[in-house]
Structure 1
């Protein structure tokens, strides 16, 4: 994804901005913006990429929570070259206040922790409104499930907040067309059993029912074997992984342990020797920015569909 040319095209498509004030739903809150934010920041690589694809860097004063866990690829480096990283990992309240923010895009376990020092409530007295990543809302409220549409919701709400609603809708329309095209290629067969391996050797960190990979796997013709785990990103035991015998394992690539090292661990651990995916060496690697909600989800669904069905 090349941001600058794409953003230039979208600028040409953008119609008149919605008049402020505007109100959007953020988890269990309604948040009203009297004016378009001018000093915004985002947390994590995937949320920052949502800001970039909407062409909002001129409204941003920085970003948080990327280099502490992830390395930026060439597109991301180009997109945020002029912006400082305000904090390598989760920011403190003082960091955000010191940057004089008038908007922060974050989420629960994407920059904020329940009961932590940085939450919508603790930032409100300092005039910093927070828009929460939809996928993360499960940590503070009940939800029916996860869908790729949740990423569309975030793009649409950001478009409303920043007065680029037409730009947001153009993106969503294009992505939906891609999803429809992928769906049309899927064979009529039972969904493949799929396990998402993020990290961890003693106990694996994986995607449960409410994490975006569950929706992505379903859109690609598979079924997350941990879809009955009522959480988003969480730890499980290895025993149910072995018992449910995944046919494909999705490796989330980031951090100090490489994707190849994660695959080697699975291949070389005797307890996993009988797992269908290990026996047949069926691994799919997705970068963190592809496996978490963001613009690269659609491309990642195509990658999954090709890996699942050989198309």
Structure 2
């Protein structure tokens, strides 16, 4: 038997927010009139009650739900351990949440978890024509909200932007009935981006940037439809692959040499470390004439910062300071 004391125990602030969010969700769930409709890619999705058993895919989408204070309403996540190593503070949040699948989740994974909501995206946990899609999950009463950046896979030539991140946060705020929390996060991001823009002013030059995700025989990079395009633009640079109507895709080394990037943005994740990726690029015979290689101009950002997330603001700050150091000098 547990013995009670007269001194109440103070719960950590994060835990209190989880309890409050869960209680609010339960109250709303008991109201027969509560329902919200949001736009998800090219669909209208109606959520009948705030989710209580949500699942997210990928580290960036999972981090969004955690920042919204929704851990108490999650039953798991997928698609992290096979590809990414979370920062220690994020890993601490994940430690008592089960990973349903290290890579893409199966329909059985989601049904076994009794999920009532799936936050994912195209090539972020779902594939066109695959087993797990909004249509396949709808048969089991599991609504799906799609990451807006991923909509380019089902909506040709759709360009990703920071507004997608803001919109996703606000839509998730409506879905989970935490609108005030979501709006606070959006305004915090917007203020940081605006501060960068104020420091940059009108820059006469926009340094050329190549995004290097991975790949040796053929590099994997980001075209004008992906989030890095928006981040580089906001940081006062130009994505050298902005002529490619793609999101994340393979390009040729010849195209990289032809564009002669002045900076290379290395995405830090995967089996190879950022240092190993840098060494590979520095030693690549075909790249020796490239300005970024000759000047050793590299920027390293974690996966979480270059995919849609709250860390996009930090990515813009880091990139802008590297591309335009004179604007950020003390």
TM, length-normalised to structure 1: 0.94
Out of 215, 223, 248, the residue aligned to residue 200 of structure 1 is 215
Out of 236, 241, 255, the residue aligned to residue 256 of structure 2 is 241
Instruction: Render the CA deviation track for 1:37-91: whole Å, top value 9, x for unaligned.
Output: 0100100000000001100001100101100101121111122222111111101
1:74 counterpart residue number: 88
1:117 counterpart residue number: 131
1:247: how far off?
0.5
Out of 149, 164, 167, the residue aligned to residue 150 of structure 1 is 164
Alignment of 1:163-242 (within 5 A): 163-186=177-200, 188-242=203-257
Give the whole-Å Cα distance in 1 for the aligned partners of 2:67 and 2:208: 33
Alignment of 1:18-97 (within 5 A): 20-97=34-111
Alignment of 1:220-299 (within 5 A): 220-299=235-314
1:233: how far off?
0.5
Give the 3-state SS of the residue equivalent to 2:91 in structure 1: helix
Contact 1:11 1:167 in 2 (8 A): no
Sort the Cα spacing of 1:176 and 1:5 in 2 relative to 1 into closer, same or farther, 3 A. Answer: farther
Give the whole-Å Cα distance in 1 for the aligned partners of 2:302 and 2:16: 26
1:11: how far off?
9.5
Give the whole-Å Cα distance in 1 for the aligned partners of 2:260 and 2:15: 43
Sort the Cα spacing of 1:11 and 1:142 in 2 relative to 1 into closer, same or farther, 3 A. Answer: farther
Contact 1:10 1:167 in 2 (8 A): no
Unmatched segments (≥5 aa) in structure 1? none
Greater mean deviation of Cα atoms: 70-79 or 292-301? 70-79
Give the 3-state SS of the residue equivalent to 2:45 in structure 1: strand
Give the 3-state SS of the residue equivalent to 2:136 in structure 1: helix
Contact 1:49 1:76 in 2 (8 A): yes
Structure of larger gyration radius:
2
Give the whole-Å Cα distance in 2 for the aligned partners of 1:10 and 1:185: 37
Instruction: Render the CA deviation track for 1:236-267: whole Å, top value 9, x for unaligned.
Output: 11111100100100000111111111111111
Give the whole-Å Cα distance in 1 for the aligned partners of 2:17 and 2:97: 22
**Alignment length (residue pairs):** 306
Is 1:303 aligned with 2:321?
no
Sort the Cα spacing of 1:178 and 1:273 in 2 relative to 1 into closer, same or farther, 3 A. Answer: same
Contact 1:7 1:53 in 2 (8 A): no
Contact 2:35 2:46 in 1 (8 A): yes
CA RMSD of aligned residues (A): 2.0
Give the 3-state SS of the residue equivalent to 1:293 in structure 2: coil
Give the whole-Å Cα distance in 2 for the aligned partners of 1:247 and 1:99: 48
TM, length-normalised to structure 2: 0.89
| Structure ranking higher on relative contact order (CA contacts 8 Å, 6+ apart) | 1
Greater mean deviation of Cα atoms: 262-271 or 31-40? 262-271
Sort the Cα spacing of 1:227 and 1:241 in 2 relative to 1 into closer, same or farther, 3 A. Answer: same
Give the 3-state SS of the residue equivalent to 1:126 in structure 2: coil
Give the whole-Å Cα distance in 2 for the aligned partners of 1:190 and 1:11: 50
Sort the Cα spacing of 1:37 and 1:265 in 2 relative to 1 into closer, same or farther, 3 A. Answer: same
Sort the Cα spacing of 1:35 and 1:132 in 2 relative to 1 into closer, same or farther, 3 A. Answer: same
1:12: how far off?
9.4
Sort the Cα spacing of 1:117 and 1:9 in 2 relative to 1 into closer, same or farther, 3 A. Answer: closer
